[in-house]
Amino acid sequence: TQLLEQSPQFLSIQEGENLTVYCNSSSVFSSLQWYRQEPGEGPVLLVTVVTGGEVKKLKRLTFQFGDARKDSSLHITAAQPGDTGLYLCAGEEAAGNKLTFGGGTRVLVKP
Amino acid sequence: DAGVIQSPRHEVTEMGQEVTLRCKPISGHDYLFWYRQTMMRGLELLIYFNNNVPIDDSGMPEDRFSAKMPNASFSTLKIQPSEPRDSAVYFCASSRTNEKLFFGSGTQLSVL
């Protein structure tokens, strides 16, 4: 089983500050996905990164896939209370659609 | 599209009782996944199906857990007998091959 470690586990910041969430593994994944989950709901896909070194931007969110395809980061610029939630990374194995999820980072953005 | 539909949203039962969780995937999706989420272990894959056939059930914790997919629009996850340590949120998700995964809203299970 390929494991994904996320850090930090919990992050509390003020509105307007920046934050970075990390996702690390000792194994290589064919792709890596980032999800955001709100209380009482299932995770919702934010982005998929496939190529080593790839950087994708989604408004104030920037996602990066490590060159060796073992790690990834999510950076949020000028965080807003609406960014509050549980952020999960998930790695896809080469065969099939099977995903392995990290433990998640709980982000709280205070107004 | 209504999305992935799970029922019930909440289930409270006593230890030893049988529990059945239900899922209706998005129409046209050929993959269906059952996940379990707890604070301690995060989101764990229990089993997944492709075209109604179970592909990988290595995540099913014990023989007390079973899952079926009798047709493309319905799947069940059954726990018999249930135990307090089975308390968790159970998610169903579906996707087309190599496409985005969509999750249901989950079933919050409490076994007393």
Q: How far is B87 from chain A (nearest CA, A)?
A: 15
pLDDT averaged over every residue in chain A: 92
**Which 3-state string (H, E, C) describes B43-60?**
EEEEEEEECCEEEECCCC
Does pLDDT of A93 surpass 90? no
pLDDT tier at A95, thresholds 50, 70, 90: low
Which of B35, B39, B43, B46 is best to mutate for the A interface (most A CBs within 10 A)? B43
* Count of alpha carbons within 13 angstroms of residue A97, beta-carbon side: 22
**Structural tokens at position B6:** 């799970």
With residue B77 as reference, give the H or E element that holds it: strand B74-79
What amino acid is encoded at A92 in this protein?
A: E
- Contact at CB, B98 and A97, closer than 8 angstroms: yes
**pLDDT tens for each residue of A23-62:** 999 888 888 999 999 999 999 999 999 898 999 999 999 9
Assess whether the previous peptide bond of A111 is cis (omega < 30° from 0): no
* Nearest-by-CA chain A residue for B104: A42
Pick from A27, A64, A70, A38: nearest CA to A49:
A64
Contacts of A99 in chain B (CB under 8 A): 33, 45, 101
**Structural tokens at position A35:** 């999800």
Interchain contact A3–B (C-beta under 8 A): no
Q: Given B42, B45, B105, which is nearest A41 (Cβ)? A: B105
Pick from A69, A61, A62, A63: nearest CA to A92:
A69
pLDDT lower than 70: segments of chain B:
1
- Strand positions, DSSP E, chain A: 5-7, 10-14, 19-24, 31-37, 44-49, 55-58, 61-65, 71-76, 85-92, 99-101, 105-110
Predicted pLDDT at B1: 63
User: B97: buried, middle or exposed (CB in 10 Å: 19+, 13-18, 0-12)?
Assistant: exposed
A48, A65, A85, B8 from A76: Cα distances, Å: 16, 15, 13, 35
Does pLDDT of A94 surpass 90? no
The whole-number average pLDDT for the span A73-99 is 89
Q: Contact A19/A107 with Cβ under 8 angstroms?
A: yes
Q: Contact A36/A21 with Cβ under 8 angstroms?
A: no
- Contact at CB, B43 and A41, closer than 8 angstroms: no
Q: Which of the two residues, B14 and A95, has the higher pLDDT score?
A: B14
Does pLDDT of A2 surpass 60? no
Predicted pLDDT at A109: 96
- Contact at CB, A88 and B100, closer than 8 angstroms: no
CA-only gyration radius of chain B, Å:
13
